[in-house]
């Protein structure tokens, strides 16, 4: 036997009391573990959301969204300002237009449907605000064009392949920097018009050559056309105009800075949004839940430490005489402290194993209920109607809608027990045991062996 | 050779300073069996605790083999207790959740005996004091008072101490058992040449020792 094995043996000296101490410890460690797990899982999700949000900033002219609203497109000076802002690595500038029946020999691949009809019912009155191509300058032509069937969207962009994000069924991408009469055609539109790579079609009285056919998972985009930005600006008589700029920032840390300086330089001429900003708003409630979980961790650890501390103080006081005897027969302070630390450690480890087992089991439901309760706050933080886009009239330039993705993140926070969490839990448990032994150790050191000679 | 000079121990209590031991001087030869008598509160236990380095005197010296026990550091006091002193208490003071054998082995552990030798030596010691067979594995609660005191004597003898200090070793035992325990101590002082200093109330017992000191109000009187 040595002090350590004596301590282990002593821990179970009184089974009822040991059981009570272990039970109390187990409860606090259950709480500790589930809070640690919840915190780690939520933090993981926060980081994931922030990472998915990427480094893109979208700048649209004030008051315009997709083809809706009114106002002036961004000018080429504004585009240069954006491009020259510090930390902006690259930009994608986009101008969109819609083709009526008379603008092209292409047949639209979209059915108007009841939604489309409803959206178009104002268009005969508002034709003046729509950028009018050169061939359609008469009012009569204009209204006829608009009253026609569903329209095909043509997107002029500096990055026709969406920086590699576009997949081609045939052909290849075009140069977004050129002014050539070339086009990428959505698969649905190509099928409707029996177009393949090398074929030509007419748009605004110009003959375009099909260079590639692309598909996305979006029916609306697959019914559209992509051409170089400059080409669209020229044929629609809108030199330099763009309706959307996506700026890519060099690092996610700089997104906020870039947004700040853009807000300064563009003033109220533009709406600036970034997925990072939205993500941050969306995760702010998750962050407060994570903070709550941290309070839980600290509280549970504190409770555990106090439980073992009080238990050990009680045990040491009760065994004053025994400690005095051990010292009288030559036991060193260190040996007695080792024995009692080992006893505290045994109680903590047994309580810890029980608590860990229960904690891992309940951490899933615990995390879920934490997040569900916090989610009421979360959803109120979102901007209503902002991300969805109004159907066929939505944002034709936005290849990936950010909103839906972020919404989803709240629903699938899975609580996983990682090695890091386990290590943290075990580390905190050891800390609890050490705190629980430190004060009793001080009591032990102060017990005078002469006391054993005093009659009780 | 144990030599005590001008030993004084005072306590600070609520009613002021209390002189528990007042300028006590005496010496004891190796292997001598000395008894100390005196009324309750006369300072007997205080004297034993100073001789056993459980406590440090207010003044005076305690020379054991040319070393002044009164001047030892706390760590050296512990080592001195482990190797040179054996204690026998009125209330036996065995560790309640250790068996008789383990109690003796504990003293051997503190005395620095290698782990592998402890069990054999403990059995031998228990044999010497008459605790044998299944009794060795019993916890103190399952032993009679006399048996417990035998175990505690075995524990006191464990590290072949120079001095055994016994504070009323028979005080909790009936007179027959008390006599047996006393005879055991007496025999050991002869065979092992161990100095024994025993506090007792029993004048019969005191009469059989080599010398008897009497304490009164902390002052020593040769009886
Ligand atoms: N730790 C202490 N603090 C204060 N007074 C003490 C202490 N130990 C002993 N005394 C006092 O010293 C005196 C001698 O005590 P003690 O040596 O125990 O007497 P005895 O053992 O002869 O009965 C008593 O008056 C006792 O109350
Ligand atoms: Mg006494």
Which of A274, A298, A321 delimits the end of a domain?
A: A274
CB neighbourhood size of A243 (10 A): 26
Examine residue B12 and state whether it is found in any structural domain, yes or no: no
Distance between CA atoms of A293 and A40, rounded to whole angstroms? 9
Range of the domain at B190: 31-59+73-222
pLDDT at residue A285 tops 90: no
Sheet holding B59-64, edge to edge: B16-28, B2-13, B59-64, B67-68
What residues contact A414, with CB distance under 8 A and at least 6 apart? A41, A364
Distance between CA atoms of A265 and A49, rounded to whole angstroms? 29
pLDDT at residue A378 tops 70: no
What is the pTM assigned to this prediction? 0.69
Is there a single domain that holds both residue A296 and residue A245? no
Examine residue A120 and state whether it is found in any structural domain, yes or no: no
Residues paired with residue A59 on neighbouring β-strands, in sequence order: A245, A272
Examine residue A163 and state whether it is found in any structural domain, yes or no: yes
Structure tokens at A342: 């080992």
Query: Using a CB-CB distance cutoff of 8 angstroms, which residues of chain B are in contact with residue A5?
Result: none
What average pLDDT score do residues A346-369 get?
86
Distance between CA atoms of A400 and A184, rounded to whole angstroms? 18
Using an 8 Å CB-CB cutoff, list residues of chain B that contact chain A: 45, 48-49, 52, 54-55, 75, 78-79, 81-83, 87, 89-91, 93, 95-98, 102, 105-107, 109-111, 115, 155, 159, 167
Report how far ligand 1's centroid is from the alpha carbon of B18 (Å): 9
Distance between CA atoms of A14 and B193, rounded to whole angstroms? 42
**CA–CA min distance B147, chain A (Å):** 18
CB neighbourhood size of B141 (10 A): 9
pLDDT at residue B198 tops 90: yes
User: What is the chain A residue with the closest CA to B115?
Assistant: A1
Examine residue A160 and state whether it is found in any structural domain, yes or no: yes
3-state secondary structure of A203: strand
pLDDT bin (cut points 50, 70, 90) of residue A433 is confident
The model's pLDDT over B13-29, given as tens digits with 9 standing for 90+, comes to: 888 899 999 999 999 99
3-state secondary structure of A74: strand
The whole-chain average pLDDT of chain A stands at: 80
Distance of CA A141 to the CA centre of its chain: 48
Examine residue A137 and state whether it is found in any structural domain, yes or no: no
The model's pLDDT over B40-94, given as tens digits with 9 standing for 90+, comes to: 999 999 999 999 999 999 999 999 988 999 999 999 999 999 999 999 999 999 9
The model's pLDDT over B147-194, given as tens digits with 9 standing for 90+, comes to: 999 999 999 999 999 999 999 999 889 989 999 999 998 888 888 889
Judged by a CB distance cut-off of 8 A, whether residue A327 touches chain B is: yes
pLDDT at residue B132 tops 70: yes
What residues contact B46, with CB distance under 8 A and at least 6 apart? B9, B20, B21, B55, B218
pLDDT at residue B37 tops 90: yes
- The number of folded domains in chain A is 2
Examine residue A237 and state whether it is found in any structural domain, yes or no: yes
Q: With 0-12 CB in 10 A as exposed, 13-18 as middle and 19+ as buried, what is A271?
A: middle
Is there a single domain that holds both residue A204 and residue A294? no
Contact state of B55 with A456 under an 8 Å Cβ cutoff: no
Examine residue A98 and state whether it is found in any structural domain, yes or no: yes
State the pLDDT at residue B89.
Answer: 93
Range of the domain at A370: 3-51+281-455
- Would you say the CB of residue B20 lies under 6 angstroms from ligand 1? yes
Judged by a CB distance cut-off of 8 A, whether residue A453 touches chain B is: yes
Is there a single domain that holds both residue A47 and residue A167? no
pLDDT bin (cut points 50, 70, 90) of residue A252 is confident
Is there a single domain that holds both residue A244 and residue A390? no
Examine residue B3 and state whether it is found in any structural domain, yes or no: no
Structure tokens at A236: 């629609």
Is there a single domain that holds both residue A9 and residue A31? yes
Radius of gyration of chain B (CA): 17
Report how far ligand 1's centroid is from the alpha carbon of B151 (Å): 27
Mutation pick from B18, B43, B48, B93 vs chain A, by most beta carbons of A within 10 Å, is B93
Lowest mean pLDDT across A364-373, B14-23, B124-133: A364-373
Q: With 0-12 CB in 10 A as exposed, 13-18 as middle and 19+ as buried, what is A121?
A: exposed
- The number of folded domains in chain B is 1
Is there a single domain that holds both residue A296 and residue A270? no
- Would you say the CB of residue B18 lies under 6 angstroms from ligand 1? yes
pLDDT at residue B214 tops 90: yes
What average pLDDT score do residues A66-87 get?
81
Is there a single domain that holds both residue A73 and residue A161? yes
Mutation pick from A322, A325, A330, A335 vs chain B, by most beta carbons of B within 10 Å, is A330
Helix (H) or strand (E) holding B195: strand B195-199
Sign, CA dihedral A251-A254-A258-A259, equals positive
Examine residue B77 and state whether it is found in any structural domain, yes or no: yes
State the pLDDT at residue A456.
Answer: 55
- Would you say the CB of residue B11 lies under 6 angstroms from ligand 1? yes
Nearest Cα neighbor of B206 from B190, B192, B185, B191 is: B185
Nearest Cα neighbor of A241 from A223, A251, A229 is: A229
Is there a single domain that holds both residue A71 and residue A46? no
What average pLDDT score do residues B91-102 get?
94
State the pLDDT at residue B53.
Answer: 95
The model's pLDDT over A221-234, given as tens digits with 9 standing for 90+, comes to: 888 999 999 999 88
Instruction: Look at phi and psi of residue A173 and say left if phi exceeds 0, alpha if psi is from -120 to 50, else beta.
Output: beta
Query: Using a CB-CB distance cutoff of 8 angstroms, which residues of chain B are in contact with residue A327?
Result: 54, 78, 81
Q: Which residue has the higher pLDDT, A49 or B128?
A: B128
Nearest Cα neighbor of B32 from B215, B219, B177, B164 is: B164
Of B20, B21, B167, the residue with max ligand 1 atoms within 8 A of its CB, to mutate for a pocket test, comes to B20
Is there a single domain that holds both residue A167 and residue A302? no
Is there a single domain that holds both residue A305 and residue A243? no
Judged by a CB distance cut-off of 8 A, whether residue A450 touches chain B is: yes
Contact state of B48 with A453 under an 8 Å Cβ cutoff: yes
Complex confidence, ipTM: 0.94
Q: Which residue has the higher pLDDT, A256 or B96?
A: B96
Contact B172/B124 with Cβ under 8 angstroms? no
**CA–CA min distance B30, chain A (Å):** 21
Q: Phi then psi for A318, rounded to 5 degrees?
A: -65, -30
Residue B44 is part of a domain; what is its CATH number?
Answer: 3.40.50.300
C-alpha pair distances (Å), A181 with each of A133, A205, A234, A419: 16, 11, 11, 58
Is there a single domain that holds both residue A204 and residue A337? no
State the pLDDT at residue A413.
Answer: 67
Is there a single domain that holds both residue A59 and residue A47? no
Query: Using a CB-CB distance cutoff of 8 angstroms, which residues of chain A are in contact with residue B90?
Result: 455
Residues paired with residue B165 on neighbouring β-strands, in sequence order: B87, B197
User: What is the chain A residue with the closest CA to B105?
Assistant: A1
The model's pLDDT over A48-58, given as tens digits with 9 standing for 90+, comes to: 777 777 778 88
- Would you say the CB of residue B216 lies under 6 angstroms from ligand 1? no
Examine residue B1 and state whether it is found in any structural domain, yes or no: no
Judged by a CB distance cut-off of 8 A, whether residue A456 touches chain B is: yes
Examine residue A126 and state whether it is found in any structural domain, yes or no: no
Q: Phi then psi for A371, rounded to 5 degrees?
A: -70, -40
According to the per-residue pLDDT averaged within each range, which of A134-138, A177-181, A393-397, B106-110 is highest?
B106-110
pLDDT at residue A82 tops 90: no
State the pLDDT at residue A66.
Answer: 64
């Amino acid at each position: 036997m040595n002090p350590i094995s004596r301590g282990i043996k002593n821990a179970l000296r009184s089974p009822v009391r040991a059981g009570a101490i272990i039970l109390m410890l187990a409860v606090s460690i259950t709480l500790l573990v589930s809070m640690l797990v919840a915190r780690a899982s939520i933090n993981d999700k926060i980081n994931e959301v922030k990472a998915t949000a990427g480094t893109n900033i979208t700048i649209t002219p004030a008051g315009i969204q997709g083809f809706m609203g009114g106002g002036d497109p961004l000018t080429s000076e504004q585009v240069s300002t954006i491009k020259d802002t510090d930390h902006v690595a690259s930009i994608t500038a986009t101008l969109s237009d819609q083709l009526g029946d008379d603008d092209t020999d292409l047949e639209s691949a979209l059915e108007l449907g009841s939604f489309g009809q409803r959206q178009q019912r104002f268009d005969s009155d508002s034709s003046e605000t729509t950028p009018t191509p050169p061939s359609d300058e008469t009012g009569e032509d204009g209204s006829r064009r608009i009253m026609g069937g569903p329209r095909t969207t043509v997107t002029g962009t500096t990055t026709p392949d969406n920086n590699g994000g576009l997949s081609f069924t045939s052909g290849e991408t075009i140069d977004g920097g050129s002014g050539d009469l070339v086009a990428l055609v959505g698969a649905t539109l190509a099928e409707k018009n029996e177009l393949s790579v090398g074929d030509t079609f007419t748009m605004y009285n110009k003959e375009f050559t099909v260079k590639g056919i692309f598909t996305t998972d979006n029916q609306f985009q697959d019914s559209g056309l992509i051409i170089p930005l400059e080409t669209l600006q020229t044929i629609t008589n809108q030199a330099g105009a763009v309706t959307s700029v996506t700026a890519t920032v060099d690092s996610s840390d700089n997104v906020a800075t870039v947004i700040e300086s853009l807000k300064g330089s563009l003033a109220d001429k533009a709406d600036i949004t970034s997925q990072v900003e939205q993500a941050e708003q969306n995760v702010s409630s998750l962050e407060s839940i994570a903070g709550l979980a941290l309070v839980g961790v600290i509280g549970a650890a504190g409770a555990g430490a106090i439980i073992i501390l009080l238990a050990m103080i009680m045990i040491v006081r009760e065994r004053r005489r025994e400690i005095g005897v051990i010292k009288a027969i030559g036991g060193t302070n260190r040996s007695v402290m080792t024995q009692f630390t080992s006893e505290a450690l045994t109680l903590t480890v047994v309580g810890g194993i029980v608590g860990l087992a229960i904690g891992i089991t309940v951490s899933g439901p615990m995390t879920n209920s934490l997040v569900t309760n916090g989610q009421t706050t979360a959803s109120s933080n979102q901007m209503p109607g902002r991300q969805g886009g109004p159907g066929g009239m939505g944002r034709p330039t936005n290849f990936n809608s950010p909103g839906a993705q972020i919404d989803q993140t709240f629903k699938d926070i899975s609580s996983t027990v990682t090695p890091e969490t386990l290590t943290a839990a075990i580390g905190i448990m050891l800390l609890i045991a050490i705190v629980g032994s430190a004060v009793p150790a001080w009591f032990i050191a102060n017990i005078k062996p002469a006391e054993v000679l005093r009659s009780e | 050779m144990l030599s005590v000079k001008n030993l004084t121990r005072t306590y600070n209590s609520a009613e002021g300073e209390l002189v528990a031991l007042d300028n006590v001087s005496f010496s004891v030869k190796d292997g001598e069996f000395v008894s100390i008598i005196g009324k309750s509160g006369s300072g007997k236990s205080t004297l034993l605790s100073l001789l056993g380095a459980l406590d440090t005197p207010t003044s005076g010296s305690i020379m054991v083999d040319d070393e002044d026990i009164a001047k030892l550091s706390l760590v050296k006091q512990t080592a001195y207790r482990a190797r040179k002193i054996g204690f026998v208490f009125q209330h036996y003071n065995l560790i309640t959740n250790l068996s008789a054998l383990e109690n003796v082995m504990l003293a051997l552990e503190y005395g620095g005996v290698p782990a592998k030798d402890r069990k054999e030596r403990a059995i031998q010691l228990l044999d010497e004091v008459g605790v044998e067979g299944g009794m060795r594995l019993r916890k103190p609660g399952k032993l009679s008072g006399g048996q417990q005191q035998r175990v505690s004597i075995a524990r006191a003898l464990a590290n072949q101490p120079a001095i055994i200090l016994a504070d009323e070793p028979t005080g909790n035992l009936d007179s027959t058992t008390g006599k047996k325990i006393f005879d055991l101590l007496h025999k050991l002082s002869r065979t092992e040449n161990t100095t024994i200093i025993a506090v007792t109330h029993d004048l019969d017992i005191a009469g059989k020792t080599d010398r008897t000191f009497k304490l009164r109000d902390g002052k020593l009187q040769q009886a």
